[in-house]
Chain A
Amino acid sequence: MIRKVWRWMVIIFVLLFLYLPILVLAVYSFTDATNIGAIRGFSVHNYVTLFTTPELRSMIVGTVALALGAALIATVLGTMGAIGSFYSRKGMASAITTMNQVPVVNADVVTGFSICILLVVVLGISKDTYIPLVAGHVTLCAPFVFLAVIPKLKQMDPSIYEAALDLGATPFTALIRIVIPQIFPGILSGFAMAVTLSLDDYFVATYTKPATFDTISTYVVNATKGAQTTIKTALWALSTVIFLLVVLFSAVMNIRANKEERKAV
């Protein structure tokens, strides 16, 4: 087989490629430096700036609130759509699936641009109402929730639902207590995907956001064009914080998964 050495080299190389910049930034965020290459001394002033500047704080809170809110709406819509489409006639189902594919394969720029044209230019809805922004993000995320739930629906055992109905449950109760729990992992992974997409998005936000609102992406892109070095280094701190949070989250998920495995054994 491919020798062990080669395997590990590939893994390590790609790992380095992916993480070196983030780790370097993490190291430099704890120093006094304003550019990579010259360490002046250990300092946590970047983190202080990050957590005390009201601008940065409101920006982070706004981004997270938007992501969670849009992901919630997208999950509800996408799940309903997946269930509905799965049980519909072939024609309706394929229509929904085709329409659903469009934002998935489309570029963010085009999605954002088209939502902006429709809502702001043609319908004249003001960006200050946050409607274009939320609508844009939901449009971006809901199709992915749809795609995440459908496989679980296909894997589901249909006879349990029938059995529940036969035992006297109303269709609605059966839906809530039988179908949803079975597809729940799909819903959860769709939600996670929706949050990821919303947090990472730049283009839809640029075209639809109100002027005084900033998400992390729009803020960073504008800040890196500017000259303020304190903000630049505070952003290094931000990236390190997010990185640590993500590591923590994955570690927690992994420990839970291991516990389940061990329980199953």
Chain B
Amino acid sequence: MRIEIFNRYRSIAALCICGFLVLTCPVTADAAKSGGREVEKEVTLRVCNWEEYIDLGDWDEEETIELDSGDIIGENTMIEDFTQWYYETYGIRVRVEYSTFGTNEDLYNMLTLGDTYDLVCPSEYMIMKLMTEDQLVPLSEGFFDDSDQNNYYSNGVSPYIREIFEKNEIGGRPWGDYAAGYMWGITGIVYNPGLVSEEDASSWKILNDPDYKRQVTIKDNVRDSYFAAVGAIKSELLNSEEFKDDPDYQKRLEEEMNDTSRETIAGAQEYLQDVKNNAYSFETDSGKADMVTGKVAANLQWSGDAVYTMDQADEDDFPLAFAVPSESTNIYFDGWVMLKNGIGEDAAKQHAAEAFINFNSRPDNVIRNMYYVGYTSVISGGEDMRIFEYADWCYGAEEDEEEVSEYDLGYFFSEGGEEEYVITAPSDQVYRQLFAQYPTQEAISRSSIMVCFDEDQTREINQMWINVRCCNIYDIPVWVWVFAGASVCVLAVFGIRKLRR
């Protein structure tokens, strides 16, 4: 009889094995196919980018961006379009393996643990760290050749950004030699003007403000939170007249915001522990949805996410606003860098990687990415006016709009020529999306970059971060100890009685 049962279950077992083979069939077929395509050379490009940071296509018809120079719509993902463009332009097939990361530290961790990538997009302090560790491949000379029409980056990057990338150095080498910018922005607070006053939102101290208990969110990564914490504990100093009037303001601001002395770290730890009890959550991406659905009243956000959030909320007729704290703000640049252990000496890969950067810097693709993600691209377009047109299309006031203000974007777009880059926008945009997308000179003037920390400093702030999140044993209320002690006694009594029997 047992043999019969065996026979019956044999069919189930066979079914499972067949199912397994069927499922893995596509995988093996794929491998066989690419093996057969050895005739055409195929370059594999491994890209790792932030999550939700590139156009994934599939737009609705009504989302078409109608500019004077032509319509722009994203039908396919940017990756597919790149693969096709690369083949049409250079005749080589490229296969892009695209993965994502959530924070710079996650990316660094992945790289340390042996994940190899060719092209990644970290923030400026991580770029600096990778540069000091000599892990990057410098951009080739051909990349900066202005005469090549396909070098969209070199031809289109905003002079303002280009200057920053050339001015900032680490280890004697400017960023611009190794990194090509992708998106930039500042950090600030997205808030619900109905619940939060502009005054409250203009300070980092809103995070541990008990008036907004469990109504604020903070970022779940140590650098952004540390920046906000330092801003909050040094609020008086940073807001003081004499600090702001200091001729060396920029330099001093950078020093103060990147300070890692014992007292500052201890102060920040205390502050963040208060925030932990006051905040709704430590988030990376979920804050956007929580703001739009009204679950929280204020959000520590990067400007790009702020634009996205405000746009989404506008669809629900729920006006949100963006404020930049008076103490300071962090100006960040996410840029493409090529990794040595991915590219090595492979010229074909480097060419594909640089082409990927250029393709994403083509004005129409810039607009697609900016629209989809919400962040601000470093590309101004150069001679091509489409990006400015896009900004105007987004934020320009209607003919009959009454309350308008002039918003000058010359600092970003202007090549030093005669053109005027002024948008006439509805007045409230001055503190909403337009402000977040292209911050005013005034906001940028009180911004500081994040400096890359060395090993000791990194270890100390990592330790601080762990301390913040852990439950401190002295915080456990007394009644818990009493209860635990009593339970242990009761269990011990039972145990002894059982043993004695």
If the complex has contacts A126-B114, A180-B6, A225-B285, are A65 and B52 also in contact, measured as CB distance less than 8 A? no
B5 near A181 (CB under 8 angstroms)? yes
**B110, CB-defined interface residue at 8 Å:** yes
Residues 161-203 of A, flagged 1 when their CB comes within 8 A of B and 0 if not, give 0000000000000000000111011001001000000000000
Nearest chain A CB to B172's CB is how many angstroms away?
Answer: 33
CB of B493 closer than 8 Å to a CB of A: no
- B residues apposed to A, CB below 8 Å: 2-3, 5-6, 9, 12-13, 16-17, 19-20, 23-24, 26-27, 48, 51-52, 97-99, 102, 110, 113-116, 283-286, 288-289, 293, 308
Q: Which of A65, A127, A181, A185 contacts B20 (CB 8 A)?
A: A65
A72 surroundings in chain B (CB, below 8 A)? 16-17, 20
Give the contact-size bracket for chain A.
20 to 34
Assess whether A212 is in contact with B114, with CB atoms less than 8 Å apart. no
Interface string of A131-173 (1 = CB under 8 A from B): 0000000000000000000000000000000000000000000
A188 and B289 in contact, given A61-B23, A180-B6 (Cβ under 8 angstroms): no
Instruction: Tell me, yes or no, whether A228 is within 8 Å of chain B by CB.
Output: yes
Q: Is the CB of A127 within 8 A of B113?
A: yes
Interchain nearest-CB distance for B456 vs A (Å): 22
CB contacts between A and B, total, < 8 Å: 75
Task: Specify which chain A residues have a CB less than 8 angstroms from the CB of B286 in the assembled complex.
Answer: 224-227
Residues of A contacting B: mostly: helix
A227 touches B52 (CB 8 A): yes
Measured in the bound complex, the distance between the Cα atoms of B9 and A181 in whole Å is: 10
Q: Does B97 lie within 8 Å of A212, measured CB to CB?
A: yes
- Asked if A120 and B5 sit within 8 Å, CB to CB, the answer is no
- Are B110 and A229 neighbours in the complex by a CB distance under 8 Å? no
A177 to chain B, nearest CB (A): 8
B224 to chain A, nearest CB (A): 15
A68-B20, A127-B115 known; A227-B2 Cβ under 8 A = no
The answer, among A124, A127, A128, A228, for a CB contact under 8 Å with B52, is A228
**In the complex, A121 has a CB within 8 A of chain B:** yes
Q: Could you say which residues of chain B place their CB within 8 Å of the CB of A64?
A: 23
A93 CA to B289 CA, complexed, in Å: 55
Judge whether A99 is part of the interface by a CB distance below 8 angstroms.
no
* Whole-angstrom CA separation of A188 from B9 in the bound complex: 8
Chain A 49-87 residues near chain B, CB threshold 8 A? 61, 64-65, 68-69, 72
**Residues on B with beta carbons closer than 8 Å to the beta carbon of A222:** 51, 102
Give the docked Cα–Cα distance between A229 and B286 (Å). 10
Q: Is A98 an interface residue (CB 8 A)?
A: no
Docked complex: A17-64 residues within 8 A CB-CB of B: 35, 61, 64
- Docked Cα-Cα span, A226 to B287, in Å, equals 8
A211 within 8 A of B: yes
Closest residue to A210 on the B side, CB-wise? B115
On whether A182 and B20 interact (CB within 8 A), knowing A127-B113, A211-B110, A225-B284, the answer reads no
Cα A93 to Cα B293 with chains together (Å):
59
Contacts of A227 in B (CB 8 A): 52, 285-286, 288-289, 308
B-side contacts of A116, CB under 8 Å: 113
Instruction: Give the shortest distance, in Å, between B32 (CB) and chain A (any CB).
Output: 17
Chain B residue nearest to A264 in the complex (CB): B1
Q: Kindly provide the distance from the CB of B34 to the nearest chain A CB, expressed in whole angstroms.
A: 15
| A43 to B: closest C-beta gap in Å | 16
Interchain CA distance A127-B99 in the complex, whole Å: 14
A35 touches B23 (CB 8 A): no
